[in-house]
Structure formats: C-alpha cells, structure tokens
Structure 1
Amino acid sequence: MKLFWEQGYEGTSFDQLIRTMGISPSSFYNSFGSKEQLYKEATDAYLNMSEAWFAGRLFGTADTREAFKALLDATAVEYSRQSHPSGCMISLAGTHLPPDLNSVREMMVKHRADAEDMIAQRLRNGVKDGDLPSDTDVPALAAFYSAVTRGMAVQARDGAGPQKLKAIADVAMQAWPVQSRKARSARPRRARVI
C-alpha cells in the first residue's frame, strides 16, 4: 500500500513489489493474480485505514459545521503524518493514465466520487437538522469541500506541513453558509443527553 501510495500505480514496478513484499514472482501471481488486483487490495486497505478518521470526523458530532471543521483539521494532520507517504492515496491516484489502464483510472474516480457522496450525505443531514439553510446547494458545497481536501493532498505531497494545511482548512471554513438569524431561531432544538 505504501509503495503504491508513494509512487503511484505506473511508478511502482513489479520488481519493486516482489522485493518489498519479499516474495517470488510465482508467489505473487498465485496470491494476487496481477498487479492491478494487488493495487485494488492495497487501495481497499487504504480506504479501511482512512475511513476511520474520515467518516469518524464527518459523522462523529451532531453539529454539521463542527463536523466539517473536525474533518478538515484531521485532514491537515493525516495528510502530513511522518509515518506514511504524504497526501492521500486516492486523491493523487490515476488522474493521468494511458487508455490501457482505464480500469485503474475508473476505480479511482469511483473512490473519489464515493468520498464526495459521503460529504454530500452529511450536508443533507445538516439541512434536515437545521444546521444549514434549507436552500443550501448541497452538490456544489460537497464538491467544494471535496476539492479542498484534494487540494490539501497535493499541497502535502508538495511538502506542505500541518500548519499550512491547517491554515487552508481554516480559510475553507470561512466559506461555510451562514443562516439568517430568523432561520437559526426557528431551528428545532435537539434533545439534551444527560
């Protein structure tokens, strides 16, 4: 996973893969069948790892604005960790591949769309809960915050540290839709948990 994350699909050679995993070519083919299948499994491993912090922040608090702030702050930390390659394996993958690798490109397009759909779902929940104005353009706002996180991945890959990424997150939160005072006062109250 880390090798693909650092070097991309095309940039990672078969020889690097078997050397890093410490297996023979025959063991590789018996276990994975192809480089593309291994890439799919590595991508799935990355998604399982990142979903814990991504979905955890996005759906981990009742207030929608707080959830997005927590998500962007976590993104700044996760994309600049020293323990793994910088940025996001999904954001940076498969955007420039030749036609014979279209299946890899489409897999990455789907993963990026799934993340944006998750963001949109959280925003729809926010509209329903009264945290966002009822006329919020959810698809556009989801695309905006998705683009911010993708841009943070590129910044991290280019060497930006957590402070710069946090500054980007803070500016992105300034784009949060503001409700009128009247709409806020009409908002349904949530039950208090004691």
Structure 2
Amino acid sequence: MDAAVDTFWRHGYESTGLTELTEVMGISRPALYRAFGDKAQLFRAALERYIDRNMGYVEAALARPTAREVAEAFLTGNAEAVTTPGRPPGCLSVQAMVTHEADAFSLLAENRKVIQGRLAARFRQAISDGDLPPDEDPDDLARFMITLTTGFAIRAADGEPRHALVALARRALTVFPAPDPASRDRHARSHFERHET
C-alpha cells in the first residue's frame, strides 16, 4: 500500500496506470481487482493510508500547551512533512485535487474539514483559558492554518526547500494573536480559587 501511495503521490490519479501500480505493489492485476475492486477504490485506500502515515504532526501539534505552540507545531510539522527526504515533495492531498474521482476528492475535503474543526476547537479552548484574546475568531484562525499548509504543499511540489517553508511558518506566526494577559490572569485566579475551596 505504501508503494501505491508514493506512486499516486508522484504522478497523480489520472496519470497513474494499473500496470504501473501492479508492478510497484508486486501483485497481479486480478489480485488488485480482488483486493480493491478498481483503481478508484485503490486510490481511496491509498489516501486513507497517506493520512495515517503522514499526518501524525497534527496530533502532536494539538497536544501543545498554548495556542501559539499549537500553531507553530502545526505549521512547522506540515513544512517538514511535505519536504520529507525519500518521499515525493508536496502532499498527496494537493496532487489529488486534480482528480475527477469525486469520492476521493470528497475524502480529502472531509479530512481538511476535520483538521480545521479540531484546530478551531483547540483555539476556542485557548480563548476560554485566557491564552487567546476573547475577541479572537477561532474558526478564522483554523482556516488560516489550513490555507497556509495547503500553500506549503504547493510550494514544496514546486521545489521549495524545507528551510524556506519553515521560515515562512515562522513569518506567519508573527501575525498570530498574542495571549491576553488580563484574561489569562483572571483565568489563573479562578483556577486557583476553585482548587482552594
């Protein structure tokens, strides 16, 4: 399956033929049909494998203690993922955007939507914790993150090196909202009082 992922990743859905897929996977065409049904179903399975294999940085980022650290880990993690040595540059998700296979496109859109929703929920919690200003829009911040990482994937596919993408991630963080000190102090006092009583 990893061989199928890398082949679709390098060439895109339309340009990847069944002969090439069976060769890199080391199986016969009848075996491919028995296991996956057809090329479209194999592609969907490859996308699911890609998400599991290449997007661990998302979980690591969401576990960071502050909103800014979440954003930094998410952006730099993505910049590193789309420039991993030994793998095709860019992102299978971006390659697959040109596919006419509607279900596969829908799977990618749903994955981006889920990640964006999880980022928004994390930023919403940061507002509640006083880690972000109360007038911040967590949905806009999450959308900003997803849009940046989509751009990173395109730039990586164009040949942009890792250090340049990481530098872009750092630059993007200069516009990330700073914590609200007053709100954070109120939250800290409230937390202390709850534990004292």
TM-score range, shorter chain: 0.7 to 0.9
- Counterpart for residue 12 of structure 1: 16
CA drift of 1:181 comes to 4.0
- Counterpart for residue 97 of structure 2: 95
- Counterpart for residue 78 of structure 2: 75
- Counterpart for residue 84 of structure 1: 87
CA drift of 1:30 comes to 0.8
CA distance in 1, matches of 2:165, 2:146: 15
CA drift of 1:183 comes to 3.0
Deviations 1:129-152 (A, max 9, x none): 221112211111111111011111
Superposed counterparts of 1:13-92, under 5 Å: 13-59=17-63, 61-90=64-93, 92=94
CA drift of 1:184 comes to 3.9
Distance 1:112 1:11, change over 3 A: farther
- Counterpart for residue 195 of structure 2: none
Native 8 Å contact 2:57 2:73 kept in 1? no
Matched, 1:2 2:11: no
Structural RMSD (CA):
1.9
CA distance in 2, matches of 1:109, 1:181: 37
- Counterpart for residue 188 of structure 1: 188
Aligned residues: 187
The amino acid of 2:116's aligned partner reads E
- Which residues of structure 1 form unaligned runs of 5+? none
* TM-score relative to the length of structure 2: 0.86
The amino acid of 1:110's aligned partner reads E
Greater fraction of residues in helix: 2
Deviations 1:75-117 (A, max 9, x none): 2222111121112222x0433344xx22222222112212212
CA distance in 1, matches of 2:187, 2:15: 52
The amino acid of 2:160's aligned partner reads A
CA distance in 1, matches of 2:76, 2:164: 11
CA distance in 2, matches of 1:97, 1:84: 21
Percent identity between the two aligned chains:
29
Distance 1:122 1:50, change over 3 A: farther
CA drift of 1:188 comes to 2.2
CA drift of 1:179 comes to 4.2
